[in-house]
Structure 1
Amino acid sequence: MTDNPYKYKPTKAFWRPSVAERHFAEMEDLWVPLHLTKNDKVATAGSCFAQHIGNNLAKRGATFLDMEPAPPLFNAEAEARRWGFGVFSCRYGNIYTTRQLIQLLDEAFGERVPSERVWEKQGRYFDALRPGIDPVGHDSADTVLALRERHLAKVREMFSTLDLFVFTLGLTEGWELIDDGTMFPMAPGTTAGIFDASKYHFHNLRHAEILEDLRGVWERLKAINSGARMLLTVSPVPLTATATDNHVLPATVYSKSVLRSVAGEMAEDYREVTYFPSYEIISTHPYGGTFFNPDKRTVNQLGVNHVMSHFFSGPLAEEFQLDGEPAKQEEPDLICDEGELDQVLD
């Protein structure tokens, strides 16, 4: 006869003492903070929610990589962010899917060239792989391509020099070019371009595909930069709209469940990959929807502060101290390409 194997598990392994008998504000040990110092170079990418981690690291004194800073012509941070500056570590806009991420990495290092890189709208030209970063477009396709080459050089530099890559998984749904499988951040015709069903199709990435993408990203990153580490999170923000035939609620649950599963497997399979549970802190039922705005989708400042109180815990709390009260630390407006889908209803 042997002891019950649960007998020696810590308190956090049991629901009653760690969740049911605690106010949500008193939950603790939701993750084991990774080792990070102010000298470590941190880069971010992903969905809208990834911006919160980058913003909070920067204002706590971390070495946050900003490879494409705003030129001096912008007088205000909010204006610069609208043009894609200071949102992520490079000016690539929202990278919602793992397919976008691995294709960007391969393009930056000369392993692929998308067969469609420029979209047109009302005589102006846009980068099809990041259409939301330029509100007015350019006067020629050549200008777009030249700027993209400059951008890719910064992406190469970022991946080659970072110490920690923070990626927030946002969506499983995306729109692809049938010709070569290039996945775009937005459907053609939403921000720019023209939708043509003979050229583009909808692709809802499955677990196996997403896991293969992320493993490919990790293997490529380690080949480029052997000292790199990766921190994965899943965005708690529901879909604005779904291109499936499902109601947007189950479509959201499907998408987030698949992404959470992949992130967990990556953290289990690779010692230098860590998962942070921002999704669970915002979205799960013990919190009762407290951290969502009235639209039941966007996350309020209270929620952001609470997530960051868990992120900056343990040794990270000592390394990255915040000047001032967290409640007074307002976040800049998030830049979210997906939000444009709401305009379909107008």
Structure 2
Amino acid sequence: MSEFRLIVKDQRTVNKYWSRFNDKSIQTIPHNPIFNRNSNIFTLGSCFAVEIREALKERGFSVFPRLDELELNTDRFRIGGLPDRENFNYYNTFSIEQEFARAVGLWQQQDDDYWQVEDNWWGGDKAFQDPYRRCVFGKTLDDVRHATRLLDSVVHNGMKAADGFLITLGLIEVWKIKHNQRVACMEPGYNEGGGLDETEFYLSDFEENVRNLEHIVEHIGVLNPNANIVFTVSPVPLGRTFTDNDVYVANMESKSLLRTAAAQVCRRHNHVHYFQSYDICNAIKNPFIEDGRHVQPDVVKMIVNGFISSFFSA
């Protein structure tokens, strides 16, 4: 098998034969220029979305949300890895759908809908956590509420400014909050956070994930009826599974289900498209760094170049 190559083709001439892929190590990408150099792209999803986001920014594209515009005050609150890394991540379709539902006014986080956790940052006895966003902590309840409002503003402004959305899907294992059945952004105890008593594990199914994706499409239609949407599946495997299955088996189920759900929704809507990040990595012999999970920089570069060549006009 020769060195793997991506080739952008007209939709009518994409490769139809496994023998050509096997002999030539070629994967074709349909040319579908729905964006241009002036497009505003909102990226959201798993950690691989961060990689694509950073690569697009480096190439001079306009990318949202503008997390660098947040007025951070680490004496009062912490938001993910900011300002060092814009890892504003959502790994499941439930959390992503909740973020869009919040933006269109379908739900509002209540003032007491936060978790009290051990203070591992400011030297006090307790701190507070926003369960719906990754690693958002406040020294006091007012501080974490302030962080939430800051994120509300920058995220929702970015959604309204965007004419294109790139959404990366990661996993199907979720943690439901017991008192309202919404879904927490992360598993209990992640990064010294809470949730052990407040949540319960739930393995979501195909129909639920399709429904979440359909709701995301509906919410984006409210924000911008003319926006194009691209779904992709993160190639990054599960770090661990909370099911009774072996992690490899659980990962295969998770990725296969999300890949199929994305395809199902894309077939229903002319303005919703699929990009083959997951498929590209599956076709490459060694796409990951030594940890076996995170994608090698040269592979990320190949994927981003393929995304741009496929969806952006010259």
Q: Give the TM-score taking structure 2 as reference length.
A: 0.84
Displacement of 1:308: 2.4
Aligned partner of 1:259 in structure 2 is 258
Aligned partner of 1:303 in structure 2 is 299
- Per-residue displacement from partner, 1:131-157 (whole Å, max 9, x unpaired)? 425xxx432111211221232122222
| Deviation >4 Å, runs of 4+ | 70-74
**Greater mean alpha carbon deviation, residues 296-305 or residues 267-276:** 296-305
Aligned CA distance change for structure 1 residues 165 and 56 (closer, same or farther; 3 Å): same
Aligned CA distance change for structure 1 residues 153 and 260 (closer, same or farther; 3 Å): same
Aligned partners of 2:70, 2:152: CA distance in 1, in Å? 18
* Residue identity opposite 2:222 in structure 1: A
Aligned partners of 1:14, 1:38: CA distance in 2, in Å? 33
Aligned partner of 2:76 in structure 1 is none
**Pairing 1:8-157 to 2, within 5 Å after superposition:** 10=13, 12-17=15-20, 19-22=21-24, 24=25, 27-70=26-69, 82-83=81-82, 87=86, 93-114=88-109, 116-122=113-119, 123-133=126-136, 137-157=137-157
Query: Contact between 2:91 and 2:169, CA under 8 Å: does it hold in 1?
Result: yes
For structure 2, the 5+ residue unaligned runs are: 1-11, 74-78, 120-125
RMSD of the alignment, in Å? 2.5
Report the count of equivalent residues. Answer: 290
Aligned partners of 1:176, 1:84: CA distance in 2, in Å? 29
**Pairing 1:197-346 to 2, within 5 Å after superposition:** 199-284=198-283, 287-288=284-285, 290-313=286-309, 316=312, 319=314
Query: Contact between 2:138 and 2:147, CA under 8 Å: does it hold in 1?
Result: no
- Per-residue displacement from partner, 1:72-130 (whole Å, max 9, x unpaired)? 989xxxxx982267626xxxx21111110111222233322346333422322222222
SS of 1:30's equivalent in the other structure is: strand
Identity of matched residues, %: 26
Aligned partners of 1:273, 1:178: CA distance in 2, in Å? 33
* Residue identity opposite 2:289 in structure 1: N
Q: Give the TM-score taking structure 1 as reference length.
A: 0.77
Between Structure 1 and Structure 2, which shows a larger proportion of strand residues? 2
Query: Contact between 2:229 and 2:272, CA under 8 Å: does it hold in 1?
Result: yes
Aligned CA distance change for structure 1 residues 54 and 15 (closer, same or farther; 3 Å): same
Aligned partner of 2:6 in structure 1 is none
Aligned partners of 2:295, 2:167: CA distance in 1, in Å? 18
Aligned partner of 1:182 in structure 2 is 182
Displacement of 1:274: 1.1
* Residue identity opposite 1:243 in structure 2: F
- Per-residue displacement from partner, 1:271-329 (whole Å, max 9, x unpaired)? 11111101011124xx22x211222211111221222232232674x73xxxxxxxxxx
* Residue identity opposite 1:267 in structure 2: C
